[in-house]
Amino acid sequence: MGIFEKFKIGLNKSSKNLSEGFKNLVINKKIDSKTLDNLEDFLIESDVGVVSAKELKQIFTDTKIDPKKDSLNQVNLIVENYIKKSMKPLEKNIVIEEGIKPKVILIAGVNGVGKTTTIGKLGKIFSKDNKQVVFAAADTFRAAAIEQLEIWSEKIGAKIIKSETGSDPASVAFKAIEFSKKNNIDCLLIDTAGRLQNKKNLMDEFKKISKVLKKIDPNSPHETILILDATTGQSALNQVEEFQKITPISGLIMTKLDGTAKGGILLAIARKYNLPIIAIGLGEKEDDLELFRAEDYAKALMSSN
């Protein structure tokens, strides 16, 4: 199954919603200001945010959609192009270069977005690529977070560096990078506790983890990835903003796009913050993490079957 098909299946519910929604709004309707308002409303309902919705409405207005020709197709095309244009420059692959050992990837996010699961899935992708992977269980707060990551490490044959629940997460991270360096490991994935971006002490703790890694490798973490949940509303924008303040975010992964959430917030974030998007999570299974491709994302979201 190609990535595009998989995208489509995962995003099926969402794509249905978007194209169906447009269909109801524009087919056999006069494209007047009321229709344009309805289009804007519908886009807001997809969480794309008020800004993107307004911009798209403006484009609809400027292009003067011709109701005599296929109006749905025109609307779809506009949105598709808008998404592509906004998101194409943000595609990003994570490459495990030969020169850097270990490539240190730090994972951040609020509680319950799917950090541990995403690490497991990422680990699987890298080890399939014959890279040696180490997990650092630096979520020392949530009960059984360490056990959860441990089960993943067994599944994919990665080593795990851990400590007691309640211990200092920075020290776990330090131990892990030390170990990885010594053992010539290709990739170190660091799981951290969920933290709400408005909790100062927790955000400081995160900063400390990032800082302590530099003692072993001043260029690390090479990637700091923020995980976002597709069901989150406008708070996702704040999450990006606040985590950015603490430490530079090098990429985003959006999880849970297999539900009904349209993940439109990803567009809102792309418009506002210009952050690279690495992958999207399309399900609970081990392989349900896909590299982000703007065309596929836009097409799968828009195509009407």
Partner 1 sequence: MFENLTNKFEEIFSSLKKAPSLNEKQVEEGLRSIRQALLEADVALPVAKTLIENIKPKAIGQEIIRSTTPGQMIVKIVYDELVQLLGDKKSEINLNAVPPVSIMLVGLQGSGKTTTAAKLAQYLEKNNKKKPLLVSLDVYRPAAQEQLKILGEQNSIQTLPIVKEQLPNDIARRALGAASLSGSDIIIFDTAGRTQIDLSMMSEIKELKSTLKPAEIMLVADSLTGQVAVNIATEFKKAVDLTGIILTRADGDGRGGAAVSMKFTTGVPIKFLGVGEKIENFEVFHPDRIANRILGMGDIVSLVEKASQNLDQENIKVTEENLKKGQFSMQDYLSQLRQMKKMGGMEGVLSMLPGVSKIKKQMDNANIDENIIKINEAVILSMTKEERLNPKIINASRKKRISSGSGTDSATVNKLLKQFKMMTNMMKKMSKGDPKDGIPPEIFNQLK
Which spans of this chain sit near partner 1 (rule: CB under 8 A)? 13, 41, 44-47, 50, 110-114, 117, 141-145, 147-148, 150-152, 165, 196-199, 229, 231-236, 238, 256, 258-262, 265, 284
Amino acid at 22: F
User: Nearest distance from residue 218's CB to partner 1, in Å?
Assistant: 32
Q: Of 88 and 208, which has the nearer Cβ to partner 1?
A: 208
User: Nearest distance from residue 5's CB to partner 1, in Å?
Assistant: 19
Contact 286, 151 (CB under 8 A): no
Q: Of 150 and 168, which has the nearer Cβ to partner 1?
A: 150
Q: Of 73 and 167, which has the nearer Cβ to partner 1?
A: 167
In this structure, the number of other CB atoms found within 10 A of the CB of residue 145 comes to: 21
Q: Of 103 and 162, which has the nearer Cβ to partner 1?
A: 162
HSE, side-chain direction, 13 A CA sphere, residue 155? 18
Q: Of 24 and 111, which has the nearer Cβ to partner 1?
A: 111
User: Nearest distance from residue 99's CB to partner 1, in Å?
Assistant: 33
User: Nearest distance from residue 175's CB to partner 1, in Å?
Assistant: 21
Phi, psi angle pair for 181, to nearest 5°: -65, -50
Q: Of 199 and 211, which has the nearer Cβ to partner 1?
A: 199
For residue 248, count CB atoms less than 10 angstroms from its CB and return exposed for 0-12, middle for 13-18, buried for 19 or more.
exposed
**Distance (Å, rounded) from C-alpha 277 to C-alpha 250?**
9
Contact 65, 29 (CB under 8 A): no
User: Nearest distance from residue 71's CB to partner 1, in Å?
Assistant: 22
R_g over Cα of the chain: 21
Q: Of 53 and 275, which has the nearer Cβ to partner 1?
A: 53
Q: Of 75 and 265, which has the nearer Cβ to partner 1?
A: 265
* β-sheet bridge partners, residue 192: 138
**Distance (Å, rounded) from C-alpha 108 to C-alpha 240?**
10
User: Nearest distance from residue 184's CB to partner 1, in Å?
Assistant: 28
Residue 111, helix vs strand vs coil: coil
CA torsion, ordered 58, 60, 63, 67, to nearest 10 deg: -150
User: Nearest distance from residue 143's CB to partner 1, in Å?
Assistant: 4
The residue with tokens 């056990």 is: 147
User: Nearest distance from residue 194's CB to partner 1, in Å?
Assistant: 9
Contact 114, 103 (CB under 8 A): no
Those residues whose C-beta lies under 8 Å from the C-beta of residue 17, and which sit 6 or more positions away, are 46, 260, 262
